[in-house]
Structure formats: C-alpha cells, structure tokens
Amino acid sequence: MGKTLYQKVWDAHTVGTLSDGRTQLFIGTHLIHEVTSPQAFGMIRDLGLQVKYPHRTFATVDHIVPTVDQDAPADPLAAEMMDALRRNADDFGVTYFDLGSGKQGIVHVVGPEQGITQPGTTIACGDSHTATHGAFGAIAFGIGTTQVRDVLATQTIAMESLKVRLIKVDGPLKPGVYAKDVALDIIRRLGANGGIGYAYEYGGSTFDNFSMEERMTVCNMSIEGGARCGYVNPDEKTFAFLKGRPYAPGEDEWDAAIERWQSFASDPDADYDDLIEIDAADIEPTVTWGISPDQGISISETIPDPAEAGSEALRASYREALDYMQLPGGTPIKGVKIDVAFIGSCTNGRLRDFREAARFLKGHRVAPGVKAIAVPGSQITAVQCEQEGLDRIFEEAGFEWRAAGCSMCLAMNPDKLVGDQVCASSSNRNFKGRQGSPIGRTLLMSPVMVCAAAVKGEVADAREVFEVDGSDSAVA
C-alpha cells in the first residue's frame, strides 16, 4: 500500500514519540508575524532560551500595518507591536522582511513569493491560514502562541497525526467560477466542522489545471472547513513557480531538489481515510449569507428560510445568522445592498486575483455610495500590479489602491467597517464582528464577484454584470 504526501512528510519530520503518545514533529520552516509572536519571545526570554534554528525562522509584519501610509502606525499599541517584532528578530538573528525591505506582506503571500515555501516540508505559523502553503505540497498548519514558543525554542511541536481526506474535483470550471467558489462550495458541502481531525488532499483535474495562486486560495480556506491543513501534490507548475526565487534551491541543487520534491507526492495506490468527489460543473459563483463560512449559496439561490430547516438546532443557527445579518430568509441573495467592497487578503490578494478582477472591472465604475478598496497581499505584489497598470484600472473604476497588509480581512489596522455596514469581501471569514465593527456584516465571494457587487451597489452575478460568455475566459 502506498503512502500519501501527508504520511511521507510526517514520517520524514518525526523526531520521536512523547510520553503522552503525541509525536514530536520537526518544523522545517517557521513563519512569524507581529500579533502572535511577542508573547512567545517573552516566554523564551523568561526561560533563558534561544531560537534554535534562526535561519529557518522568517518574520514579517502584516496584521496591523496601515494601508494608506504603511509607516504611520495607527496607535501606540500598533507601534509597540511593530517595534517588538523588529527587536525580537534583531536579538535572535531571525530574517525579517520589514516595511522598508520591499518584501513585506501578508506572511502567506511572502513565503511562496520568496521561495521559502517548498514541497515536502513542514511549515508552522501562529496563524490559522498557514494551510495556504499546502498548495506547494507542504504540510502547513496554524499553531497557538505557546506552540510558537515551542518552535522558537526547539524547532518542534507536540502534535497528534491527522487522518487524510482526498477531495477530488474534476472537470473544467464554468466561466465566471473561480477557485474561491471551489473553496466555498467544499465548505458548504462538508460544513465548518467537517474537516476536524483531517488533513485535506486536494486533487483531480480541476486542481491539476489550477495555477499555484488558485491552489493557494483553496488550501488557504481549509481551516474554514475545520481542516487544520490542506495540500496539493507538487507538480511541474509548483517547480516552475519556485524556480529562481530568492530562497529556492539554486541551479546546482535544482535537479536534486525536484527529485526530492517529487518523491513526496502521494503514491497512486495511497490509502485515504475518506474520499469526496465533486464535479466542477456543479460549482456556481458562491456567496455567503450568514456568520459562518459554511453558510453559503450560489448566486441564483435564495437565502435559507429557518422555517424550512431540517432540525431545531439548524433552525436556531439560521435564525441567529439572519438576525445578525438583518436579512430575510427565503429571499434572493442577489440584490442585497452593499456599502463596502474589499479585494485582498491571504485568500485572494495575489497578482492573478487583481489581474482577473481588473480584466472585468476595466471601463466600469463603482456605484455611488460604495467604498471600495483593493489591497495587494505584499509589496512585491503591489509593484507587479502597478507595472501592469492594474492600480490605474482599479483607481479609474473608483477603488482605492492601497499598500500591502491583511487590512479589512480582520481589521486590526485602521481599515474597518463602520456600524452595520455590509461588505462584499474576497477574504475568508464572515464571523460576527470580523471586519472591525461589532455589528458589521460580511459577504464572502470571489474577487470578480466583489467587483460586480461594487459596480452594482448590491450583490450581483458577475457573469451578467460583465457579460461573461466564456469566449474570453482567462480562468486557468
């Protein structure tokens, strides 16, 4: 019986078995940021410990960075956090992609961009969206701050092995349907807790044909379905993406690296704990209507009516969501008015996301009264977009073109919803209060659907707004 990539990477990184039965797992790459690391550095200082592998630890600042003027922290607390990261990186010899480096950005955009993210590796970060790096065939997962301490001090964590579920999506996506819709569709099918105890392996021809960016979008949202990590087997696209990047293996090591990376791919006869098969043709542009990422429907459906829920528990959960969202059950999602449009985040803040959005947005105007912001995922992404003139397309359409950061995905910087504003958002979470206002409302969708909503001032079908007929589809 063959092995999955998950099993191979796990085995290669097992240090030993701890007294409680958990595995002591070696973490090859540790990514850190300003929000979840200062306490961990405080703990290792208190214990008199050092960072064990500083050259395998990479830091950047993303969550609290202002996107209008990156160098002007919003308040003394934000400044203190940025200073703490700078000092910790300096004191412990950790590579730090600071604001002035030209390489700063959302940690899950920076890792791949720098070629730090590689197949067959383990990657941990004090951030639940670390699964993003699984797109490269890495086993990557979020950890808490005490575990950040453990990785800093020992380069290992105590962890229980996961089961592996193969999610196979086959066939071409319909025009106007994107990787984001695949992610939202999977979460809708399996539930926000469907992935507890599992690593997700994404496969099938749809994933084979996806770009690395599209694979990252789906892996990124594994955690929204309860799966701590998700991955795609490495292939020629993975290698082509990494070639020549600063931290990727050089020319003289390249062939050996590819051979090693390929050896980690799941064997054809690998044994999976579960299998889910999805026909790509069944996936529609998807929008969330509630307060959990599994509360999503296709653009042509109506918002669920609690009266028709199958159980009392489901009815209560629908009611809670609809009360918060101030939306009536049984009515179309299409036409729901929006106040804010946000394109960015570690889910959809990469060059291809902006390129695809700009392709449709060009020549259109954001509806009066809608505040629209486009926030590149990294400084390098920003430059790439600007070199292609995408920033001008967004600005001419009425979007604000901002500097790199997490921004309105979690609103730890000044980019926040106000009151009960409704935001069409390319981010990953629609939790209560997620976008900075305790009563703010989030509708998750693809970047192109965000553009359609921005232009119409209400949730709209991008295929109608932009007359997508598939003849000119850049969906790869």
> Interaction with other proteins in 418-447: which residues (CB under 8 A)?
419, 429, 431-434, 436-439
Least distance in angstroms from the C-beta of 70 to other proteins? 17
Backbone angles phi, psi at 2, to 5 degrees: -75, 180
Using alpha carbons, select from 4, 1, 2, 27 the residue that is nearest to residue 264. 4
Query: 219-233: buried (b, 16+ CB within 10 Å) or exposed (e) per residue?
Result: bbbbbbbbbbbbbbb
Distances (CA, A) of 195 to 125, 178, 199, 228, 245: 19, 22, 7, 8, 33
Q: Where do we find the tokens 């609809």?
A: 322
What character string, x for contact with other proteins (CB under 8 A) and - otherwise, covers 294-323? x------------------x--xx--x---
Least distance in angstroms from the C-beta of 252 to other proteins? 13
The reply on whether position 121 binds other proteins by CB under 8 A is yes
Spatial distance between the Cα atoms of 364 and 374, rounded to a whole number of angstroms: 15
Contact stretch for other proteins (CB under 8 A) within 19-27, 180-188, 343-351, 454-462: 19-27
Residue 211 vs 317, nearer CB to other proteins:
317
Out of 115, 142, 175, 457, the only residue in the binding site for other proteins (CB under 8 A) is 142
Pick out residues in 60-89 that bind other proteins (CB under 8 A).
63-64, 75, 77-78, 80-81, 84
Spatial distance between the Cα atoms of 432 and 291, rounded to a whole number of angstroms: 6
The reply on whether position 212 binds other proteins by CB under 8 A is no
Pick out residues in 228-257 that bind other proteins (CB under 8 A).
228, 256
The reply on whether position 326 binds other proteins by CB under 8 A is no
For residues 426 and 342, the answer to whether their CB atoms sit within 8 Å is yes
Residue 358 vs 412, nearer CB to other proteins:
412
Pairing outcome for strands 198-203 and 229-231: parallel
Least distance in angstroms from the C-beta of 128 to other proteins? 4
Spatial distance between the Cα atoms of 248 and 95, rounded to a whole number of angstroms: 15
Out of 143, 218, 375, 465, the only residue in the binding site for other proteins (CB under 8 A) is 143
Query: What is the DSSP annotation of 284-332?
Result: --EEE-SSSTT-EEETTSBPPPGGG-SSHHHHHHHHHHHHHHT--TTSB
Contact stretch for other proteins (CB under 8 A) within 172-180, 192-200, 443-451, 463-471: 192-200
The reply on whether position 410 binds other proteins by CB under 8 A is yes
Out of 28, 234, 304, 405, the only residue in the binding site for other proteins (CB under 8 A) is 28
Contact stretch for other proteins (CB under 8 A) within 104-112, 141-149, 331-339, 374-382: 141-149
Out of 62, 127, 214, 415, the only residue in the binding site for other proteins (CB under 8 A) is 127
The reply on whether position 164 binds other proteins by CB under 8 A is no
Out of 2, 11, 22, 279, the only residue in the binding site for other proteins (CB under 8 A) is 22
Spatial distance between the Cα atoms of 174 and 419, rounded to a whole number of angstroms: 37
Show the CA angle centred on residue 374, arms to residues 369 and 379, nearest 5°. Answer: 155
For residues 224 and 193, the answer to whether their CB atoms sit within 8 Å is no
Q: How far apart are the first and last CA of the chain?
A: 34
Least distance in angstroms from the C-beta of 158 to other proteins? 4
The reply on whether position 111 binds other proteins by CB under 8 A is no
